[in-house]
A and B are shown apart, each in its own frame.
Chain A
């Protein structure tokens, strides 16, 4: 029970703090800011708990169990959050078709819908803000960091038998 309560406390505190901080100032790289926030909040809570004598006695297995639940849930939330930053083209198509009900939509209608909702250039901006590409004088180059991630996904597509998407 302590494991569940502590993990929930870590996540809830981080989430509430995120809501407050995001309204004060929206970070430039939001996903990175989330990862850092959700890393430091549990550390601060743990230090405070031990400092003020509130820390429960936990076995090593229970401490690891807290990490095994908290870290994946936090990473899952940050991945989910990335979907909040940008509208998914697939979901925009689905919502448009749902709205049209039995009448359906022509390709041209869907195209117009995507054009008004999507910002392709913003996606390149996000890549640049994340240090994965560099844009200079209208030219786009991949950075060493971008090359690393590109190669990871290139390798993954071979291992998992995936086609190149986009």
Chain B
């Protein structure tokens, strides 16, 4: 296979390595968060190594430089989609609803579903997850932010994006 194709397929190699490492760590160490991080870093390393090994074959210096953002962006896009897929399993109410409905032989009253997926339960699940991830802490009857800076930045970014993308009436 030519170096151009190996460079093109470097992000694909990366995501395969990402998934393989994530599966390995998830099943051996039983730590989802760590598995995701190790998978991401391992996949990125594989992507960069495969690209670097083939970059010398680029026709011009501009092409050699331009390949890096393309490859990294491709890998980040693939990784983000992979992470979203995994995260939906962990956090999405809608996915949980679908999985619960799978085991129902007949229709479920909407009132039962809305009672089952109450705001209280939603809050308690998330407080437990955030506390387990050491992003918040409970002391003297109150919850405090410990290290949720990344999530806070994400929240603010979403707010800005919402203002740009969605019409003012939404």
A84 near B165: Cβ-Cβ < 8 Å: yes
B143 near A104: Cβ-Cβ < 8 Å: yes
Choice from B4, B73, B99, B141 contacting A154 with Cβ under 8 Å: B99
Alpha-carbon distance A1/B62, docked complex (angstroms): 7
Which residue of B is nearest A87, CB measured? B158
Given known contacts A89-B126, A161-B32, is B102 in contact with A147 (CB within 8 Å)? yes
B101 near A133: Cβ-Cβ < 8 Å: yes
Given known contacts A97-B143, A153-B95, A165-B90, is B108 in contact with A160 (CB within 8 Å)? no
Total A-B contacts with CB atoms under 8 angstroms apart: 253
Nearest chain A CB to B155 CB, angstrom units: 4
Chain A contact residues: helix, strand, loop or mixed: helix
Q: Give A84-120 as 1s and 0s: 1 = Cβ < 8 Å from B's Cβ atoms.
A: 1000111111110110101111110011001100101
Report how many residues on chain B are interfacial, defined by Cβ distance under 8 Å: 88
A162 near B117: Cβ-Cβ < 8 Å: no
Alpha-carbon distance A145/B94, docked complex (angstroms): 14
Which residue of A is nearest B82, CB measured? A72
A84 near B158: Cβ-Cβ < 8 Å: yes
B66 near A61: Cβ-Cβ < 8 Å: no
Given known contacts A61-B5, A136-B107, A160-B89, is B70 in contact with A166 (CB within 8 Å)? no
Q: Give A146-166 as 1s and 0s: 1 = Cβ < 8 Å from B's Cβ atoms.
A: 110111011011011111111
Nearest chain B CB to A26 CB, angstrom units: 6
Given known contacts A64-B8, A68-B74, is B91 in contact with A97 (CB within 8 Å)? no
Alpha-carbon distance A160/B111, docked complex (angstroms): 32
Q: Which of A38-46, A49-57, A75-83 contacts B (4 or more CB under 8 A)?
A: A75-83
Q: Give A1-43 as 1s and 0s: 1 = Cβ < 8 Å from B's Cβ atoms.
A: 1011001000000000011001100100000000000000000
B158 near A138: Cβ-Cβ < 8 Å: no
Interface residues of A (CB under 8 A from B): 1, 3-4, 7, 18-19, 22-23, 26, 59, 61-62, 64-65, 68-69, 71-73, 75-76, 79-81, 83-84, 88-95, 97-98, 100, 102-107, 110-111, 114-115, 118, 120-121, 123-124, 126-127, 132-133, 135-136, 138-142, 146-147, 149-151, 153-154, 156-157, 159-166
Interface residues of B (CB under 8 A from A): 2, 4-5, 7-9, 11-12, 22-23, 26-27, 30, 32, 35, 62-63, 66-67, 69-70, 73-74, 76-78, 80-81, 84-86, 88-99, 101-102, 104, 106-111, 113-114, 117-123, 125-127, 129-130, 135-136, 139, 141-145, 148, 151-152, 154-156, 158, 161-162, 164-167, 170
19 contacts between A and B (CB under 8 A): A1-B66, A3-B66, A3-B70, A7-B70, A18-B165, A19-B165, A23-B167, A26-B166, A72-B74, A93-B126, A93-B130, A97-B144, A104-B142, A104-B144, A141-B106, A149-B98, A150-B99, A154-B102, A165-B96
